[in-house]
Amino acid sequence: MENNSYTLVDRIDYLEFRQNLLILKQPCHKATVFFDLNIDIYLEIREKTNEFSEKIICGEGLKLYDYEKLIIGIWPNISNYPSACSLIAKSLLDKDVFNLIAE
């Protein structure tokens, strides 16, 4: 359940994230997958994504599959939409970090 103690920055980040997902998605990809994505899930994904990025920067050989497992562990509903984790990665990861895991 959502609470009302989020900072303004967290709320704006969340809205921008959802907007980016809609812009990045393929035309055939249903946007309804992101309907259940609430701010609590987003904040946890953002935190774990930052930790994942640090591991990549430090030289750990993680790949997109590892990121997908991380996201599915946080938000199991996303497993029904294979390309959704890639959209999340493109939206939250630095471009260079994304390119490293996508290789």
Residue 53 belongs to a domain = yes
| DSSP annotation string for the chain | ---S---HHHHHHHHHHHHHHHHHS-TTS-GGGGGG--HHHHHHHHHHHHHHHHHHHTT----HHHHHHHHHHH-GGGGGSTTHHHHHHHHHS-HHHHHHHH-
Residue 86 belongs to a domain = yes
Residue 14 belongs to a domain = yes
Number of domains forming the structure of the chain: 1
Residue 3 belongs to a domain = no
Query: In terms of residue numbers, what domain contains 28?
Result: 8-102
* pTM for this prediction: 0.85
Render each residue's pLDDT in the chain as its tens digit; 103 residues: 456 789 999 999 999 998 888 777 666 556 667 778 899 999 999 999 999 999 999 999 999 999 999 999 999 988 888 788 888 999 999 999 999 998 7
Residue 1 belongs to a domain = no
- Contact residues for 35 (Cβ-Cβ < 8 A; gap 6+): none
Residue 76 belongs to a domain = yes
Residue 29 belongs to a domain = yes
Residue 92 belongs to a domain = yes
